[in-house]
Chains A and B, each alone.
Chain A
Amino acid sequence: MATSSTFLRDAWLIAGFDLRESIRTRRALVLALLYLLVASITSYIYVEVVRFAQEATSEVIAGMSDAGDKIAAASAAGAAEAAGYSGLLYVIAGGDQAIANHLATYPPMVLVFAWFSLGALPWLIALTSYDLVAGDLHLRTVRFVALRTSRGAFVLGKLLSQVLLVALIAGLGMLPVLLIGGVYLPRFDVVDTVLALLRAWPILALFAFAVLGPVACASQLVRGPGAARALATFFLFVLWILGIWAAFAPGLSALRWLTPFAYKTYFFHPDLLYRLMNAAGCAALCAGYTWLGFQVFRRRDL
């Protein structure tokens, strides 16, 4: 019987090998570039919105002759901006004022990037990771590994490699935030932004676990990469709908915790315990869905 140290060692070896293989493929490069592009566009749009708001306010204030009016208008504009931003954070936080307050501790540009990333990651992962097992089954590459380690270590290794890949791509996506913010925003605090991005990075990686669960499940159920992609996308879509439905269905709101999408907000809870429980929830969701798929994979012909 495999010892747990052998199991983990093998899984780690597979993760490292698969990650190296993944980052040399054209698909990973294209997706990294796509992520960078969208991150850049998001950052740029944010910068433009800020600039437009500031210019519009400046124009209105410049048209006033009285200095007292100018101060009052600037103060009112600032208050309106703050109120609007707080309201937006309240909506993002799902009506939880404590989370909204914690979100406010992030620089807005980092928050925009993080929220965009959390929204895009499920579909990005569905596009990059759908064949994490099905691809090896299709080409029968798995046969070289299956004589040397357990199927469980194989799946865990593949899963870890995809988490690392997502973390890598998400990390790359932070560069445009720094670059565009630094170039276009007059009062851009680089240190503050870097520290906030570093706080957001593990959130993205942990959230990737939650999304990878259903994707890994789909990838173990079918042999062809095309079928795996379709099934992974279908699973995520169904879970997305389930999450929305559960949020409004009386007495069934707990069902939303079966979907990865429910775990986005609580990463921004001010209480560390909530954040840790949320991370554990992501890991449990990943383990649960992967285990479901594994019940088919462990018995299937390779």
Chain B
Amino acid sequence: MNAPALALAAVHKRFGAVHALRGVDLRVPRGSIFALIGPNGAGKTTLFSVVCGFLRADQGSIDVLGGPPDVMRFKGRLAALPQDAVLGRELTVREHLTFLARLQGMSPETARREAERVLAIVDLGELAGRRAGTLSHGQVKRVGVAQAFLGDPELILLDEPTAGLDPRHAHDLREALRGHRGQRTIVISSHNLQELEAICDEAAFIEKGQTLEAGAVSALTAQDAEVFVVLAPGPEPIDQLRAHLGDVAVEWDTQRRVLRVSFQPGPNRAAEDVIAAVLRELLAQGARISGVGKGRSLEQRYLEATR
């Protein structure tokens, strides 16, 4: 098995009396798009900062790209969008990006080309000559994302990359991130769980500086072990369904009219097979179906995990 891009074990970080990280464990597989999910103050930004070496952990082990956090080993291999870092106001966007690319070891010409390339990713090519101090909040955020892609690093940490972006640019950025799946490891922290569910392969729930749950998004959302059916007003043949399906758990939410069927997945029992069986029985009993799906949303799972 490939070594993970990022592995943290029992990491602690205190700021005076505030215990920001209380033994975080995390394993981010190489090539995955990983979601870091948690409420404000959960420790996500602190975690990113520890991984980048901006903050020193008080305790625990941190393995980033096969070794401890060390900037000269990272040089160009690890990039990050720091949440609240500000670019200087006086120089242009192009000058900033060219400078950062040159610090990664590129020649002046390569650095200029690279700056143009990453600006195109965030649709800011036309603002390359603008002073950074004249950009809007969203544009600054996009420049921040662009600098994280300089030189195609192996591991990219993006702290709330779409916060403050308009819907169009948020969508474009999501698509751009999705396009990197399998090519490099990307860790994203965001409060937009729908967004994370759409683009991430793996996720971890963090709360009060601890990892609550982590794993593949499909496993966390029980994509292979749970199906749901939304019933329109009318017959509610729940007991008949339970009797028909046998060894599965059936939950009925009367208020939202959502029927959930949890099962043990196996070689001959995929979610699609269970959906077919459930729908056959419901239709046979005269129920009116208004929606069908697999698993739970990441948001639901997060709310359950943090309840």
* A-to-B contact residues, CB < 8 Å: 1-2, 6, 10, 13-14, 17, 20-21, 24-25, 139-151, 299, 301-302
- B292 CB contacts on chain A under 8 angstroms: none
Q: How far is the CB of A30 from chain B (nearest CB, A)?
A: 14
B71/A148 in contact, CB under 8 A: yes
Which residues of B27-65 have CB atoms within 8 Å of chain A's CB atoms? Answer: 49, 52-56
Q: How far is the CB of B142 from chain A (nearest CB, A)?
A: 15
- B75 CB contacts on chain A under 8 angstroms: 148-149
B72/A2 in contact, CB under 8 A: yes
- B104 CB contacts on chain A under 8 angstroms: 148
B99/A302 in contact, CB under 8 A: no
Q: Does B277 contact A (CB under 8 A)?
A: no
Q: Does B78 contact A (CB under 8 A)?
A: yes
Which residues of B175-228 have CB atoms within 8 Å of chain A's CB atoms? Answer: none
Q: List 17 A-B contacts (CB under 8 A).
A: A1-B72, A2-B72, A17-B95, A21-B88, A21-B91, A24-B91, A139-B86, A141-B86, A144-B87, A144-B96, A146-B54, A147-B53, A147-B71, A149-B75, A301-B49, A301-B54, A302-B55
Q: Which chain A residue lies CB-closest to B153?
A: A147
Q: Contacts A1-B72, A21-B91; is A149 near B86 (CB within 8 Å)?
A: no
B85/A143 in contact, CB under 8 A: yes
- B99 CB contacts on chain A under 8 angstroms: 13, 17
B55/A140 in contact, CB under 8 A: no
Q: Which chain A residue lies CB-closest to B78?
A: A147
- B85 CB contacts on chain A under 8 angstroms: 139-144
Q: How far is the CB of A270 from chain B (nearest CB, A)?
A: 44
Q: How far is the CB of A26 from chain B (nearest CB, A)?
A: 9
Q: Which chain B residue lies CB-closest to A14?
A: B103
B80/A143 in contact, CB under 8 A: yes
Q: Does B239 contact A (CB under 8 A)?
A: no
- B252 CB contacts on chain A under 8 angstroms: none
Interface centre among B88, B91, B102 (most CB of A within 10 A): B88
A299/B56 in contact, CB under 8 A: yes
B79/A147 in contact, CB under 8 A: yes
Pick the residue among B76, B102, B147 that contacts A13 (CB under 8 A): B102
Complex CA distance for A142 and B99, rounded to whole angstroms:
13
Chain B 63-100 interface 0/1 with A at a Cβ cutoff of 8 Å (1 = within): 00000000110111011101011111011000110011
Complex CA distance for A24 and B134, rounded to whole angstroms:
14
Pick the residue among B52, B86, B102, B147 that contacts A146 (CB under 8 A): B52
Q: How far is the CB of A153 from chain B (nearest CB, A)?
A: 9
Q: How far is the CB of A103 from chain B (nearest CB, A)?
A: 40
Pick the residue among B55, B71, B80, B91 that contacts A20 (CB under 8 A): B91
A149/B82 in contact, CB under 8 A: no
Q: A13-B103, A144-B87 are in contact. List 7 more A-B contacts (CB 8 A).
A: A21-B90, A140-B84, A141-B87, A146-B52, A147-B78, A147-B79, A150-B71
Q: How far is the CB of B152 from chain A (nearest CB, A)?
A: 14
B53/A144 in contact, CB under 8 A: no
- A144 CB contacts on chain B under 8 angstroms: 82, 85, 87, 96, 100, 147
Q: How far is the CB of A7 from chain B (nearest CB, A)?
A: 9
